[in-house]
Chain A
Amino acid sequence: KAGVTQTPRYLIKTRGQQVTLSCSPISGHRSVSWYQQTPGQGLQFLFEYFSETQRNKGNFPGRFSGRQFSNSRSEMNVSTLELGDSALYLCASSLPGREQYFGPGTRLTVT
């Protein structure tokens, strides 16, 4: 079974721009969660989607948003990028209430 895939793997953006990251879950997994990983703050939960509905949201500003499509694929968007948004963005998928499997991440650099 193919794992979680994320595109693009690497991205360089300028302050003030916006970015969209994509995640394809493991086949059959309908829950998709997003996390931000930085050296200073570690892994922090952004939001979770299940059946196209946001089920949980972490403590991040409204510039961070996401959505899920009917095929369970998910996207997250960050608007008005700041230098502090530079991070590894990780997507994880799971069956309902079960363990999460992570993708390789998208490394975003904001200059």
Chain B
Amino acid sequence: QKEVEQDPGPLSVPEGAIVSLNCTYSNSAFQYFMWYRQYSRKGPELLMYTYSSGNKEDGRFTAQVDKSSKYISLFIRDSQPSDSATYLCAMTLNNAGNMLTFGGGTRLMVKP
């Protein structure tokens, strides 16, 4: 079993829908949580960066971390066709430097 699990999708939604992307993890020592967006043949682009439990909002994006359940989420409001990409969750320990552990990614398709 992988340390970070993520439904690979694809997840297909109509334009304007609210999208919910999720990851579960097994290592309770993870403290920092990130969401990256990766377009085909590009490098991952950082969307959200959160520390420990709680919510963080940035424009149409909201990241949630529930450490008690070892579960993180990314919500995308008013989804657009340009949001079509693979979304990767990543996390790291408090003192592990920059060693990120990634989920496998969820492919999202937003249809006009």
A positions within 8 Å CB-CB of B: 4, 31, 33, 35, 42-45, 48, 50, 55-56, 58, 90, 92, 94, 97, 99-105, 107
Contacts and interface: CB of A to CB of B under 8 A. Distances in A.
B12 to A, nearest CB: 20
A90 B34 CA distance: 17
Chain B interface residue number, banded:
20 to 34
Majority SS at the chain B contact face:
loop
27 contacts: A4-B43, A31-B97, A35-B100, A35-B102, A42-B102, A42-B103, A43-B44, A44-B102, A45-B99, A45-B100, A48-B98, A55-B97, A55-B98, A58-B99, A90-B44, A92-B98, A97-B97, A99-B46, A99-B49, A100-B34, A100-B98, A102-B43, A102-B44, A102-B45, A103-B43, A104-B43, A107-B41
Contact of A33 (B36, B45, B100, B104): B100
A94 B92 CA distance: 14
Contacts of B96: 56
Interface string B74-108: 00000000000000101000001111111111000
A55 B97 CA distance: 7
B60 interface: no
Given A31-B97, A104-B42, 9 more contacts: A4-B43, A42-B105, A43-B105, A45-B101, A48-B97, A55-B97, A97-B97, A100-B98, A100-B100
